[in-house]
Structure 1
Amino acid sequence: MNADAEEPVLRVQGLRFGWGNAPLFDQLSFELPPGVSLVRGGDGSGKSTLLQLLAGAQNADAGVLAIHGIRLDLQRDAYRHQVFWIDPQTEAHDALAAKGYLDSLSHHYPHFSVDTMRELAEGFGLGPHLAKPMYMLSTGSRRKVWLTAAFAAGTPLTLIDQPFSALDAPSIRFLRELLGDAADHPSRAWLLADHEAPEHLALKKTIDV
């Protein structure tokens, strides 16, 4: 392991955000190391909103976000190429075939791996569904597409909202294996948002909201 292996992937300083006059986050600061970490909280606590802020999909009221020194406020496009996030409820890609959506990611993420994408699609059992438009897929199959994208994107930071939601048992086992491998990664960080920590997974950090 090199000297830079445990350098934080993400630095958050003084993050502030709220709806109207109600602050959801105020002066939130933390560093995210390589490996797998968790944002934990109940319904309505702000887990999903925090992921949106970290992804640059929602503008904060104040604060500095930086991935390996690339600041969202100064280099927005470059920052967003360093992070993968997708709203699991989105309908933005409904007209695309699942494979068409996955193939399109190489234009946005410079380290996207086609070989990894194929292995993940097989692991999640997506083969029969890749030619179908996204709107035809079940909630679980859509989740598998988003997870395939997340792990194939090759970004320094990967954000996954409720990773196990709507998955069948074989896919849950496969995802646990992927996260187990990710937990030991020397330079990439995964941040999960869920009500509780996944069983038998070594977390580097837990952020309670």
Structure 2
Amino acid sequence: MATAPCHLIAEHLHFAWPGQAPLIPDLSFDLGPGLHWLVGDEGCGKTTLLRLLGGELVPGGGRLCANGHWLDASPTDYRAQVAWVNVQGEAHDAISAAAFLDSMASHFPRFSAEALADMVDGLALAPHLDKPLYMLSTGSRRKVALAAALASGQPLTLIDQPFAALDGGSIRFLREVFADLADHPTRTWVVADFEAPAGAASTIHLPGR
């Protein structure tokens, strides 16, 4: 059976931190399959928007729909469509990179072992797989999260600042991966960064505050 194209829909999305001016005052879009860049300056709300899209934060107004599931109507079904992976906190420090990736394979029902092997190779992660996450550099931890997200197989994948703290070889590899994803017929990726690569087909600009 053919897989239906994933769409990410935002209708008049609004978010403000308590006691502050709206960070996202009114945002609407309909993103179909392929790769979409979310760009803007430091502090404009890129990471906050990804957390909203991932179902981690609750919007102050508006609605979100991922792959046909509305967040307000069915939060569990909505979040089941999304890969939003973060290993920069302390929650996973004690486990190895390999154990973390194994847990992601159990968490995401569409996880691809073949895609993970490609990510481990392309990001030069193999020497670090047996190390606990607390021993990894910021760049290597980011690589672990990228490998998990890109192998997740989820209809919607969210990635924050993919090139930060990475070595040149990994950056080149990721650019090739993203170029391959740009025209994917069914899955949707939203990647946040300060600017989009030259020739990016779909870009959402967040204004500065």
Q: Which deviates more, 30-39 or 46-55? A: 30-39
Report the Cα offset of residue 44 of structure 1.
Answer: 0.7
AA of the residue aligned to 2:146: L
Residue 23 of structure 1 aligns to a residue in which SS?
Answer: coil
Residue 19 of structure 1 aligns to a residue in which SS?
Answer: coil
8 Å Cα contact 2:196/2:203 also seen in 1: no
- CA RMSD in angstroms comes to 1.8
Are positions 1:203 and 2:201 aligned together?
yes
Matches within 5 A, 1:53-64: 53-64=52-63
Q: Name stretches of at least 5 consecutive residues in structure 1 with no aligned partner.
A: none
8 Å Cα contact 1:88/1:161 also seen in 2: no
Aligned to 1:37: 36
Report the Cα offset of residue 150 of structure 1.
Answer: 1.0
Of 18, 38, 50, the residue aligned with 2:16 is 18
Identity of aligned residues (%): 50
Aligned to 1:144: 143
Matches within 5 A, 1:94-173: 94-173=93-172
AA of the residue aligned to 1:153: S
Alpha carbons of structure 1 residues 133 and 9: separation in structure 2 relative to 1, 3 Å: same
Give the Cα separation in 2 of the matches to 1:138 and 1:83. 26
Normalised TM-score (structure 1): 0.92
In the alignment of these two chains, the number of paired residues is 205
Are positions 1:192 and 2:205 aligned together?
no
AA of the residue aligned to 2:62: G
Give the Cα separation in 1 of the matches to 2:180 and 2:22. 36
Residue 153 of structure 2 aligns to a residue in which SS?
Answer: coil
Report the Cα offset of residue 88 of structure 1.
Answer: 5.5
AA of the residue aligned to 1:114: A
Give the Cα separation in 2 of the matches to 1:208 and 1:176. 22
AA of the residue aligned to 2:107: H
Q: Which deviates more, 122-131 or 102-111? A: 102-111
**Runs of 4+, deviation exceeding 4 Å:** none
8 Å Cα contact 1:24/1:46 also seen in 2: yes
Aligned to 2:71: 72
Aligned to 1:84: 83
Report the Cα offset of residue 108 of structure 1.
Answer: 2.0
Give the Cα separation in 2 of the matches to 1:122 and 1:32. 30
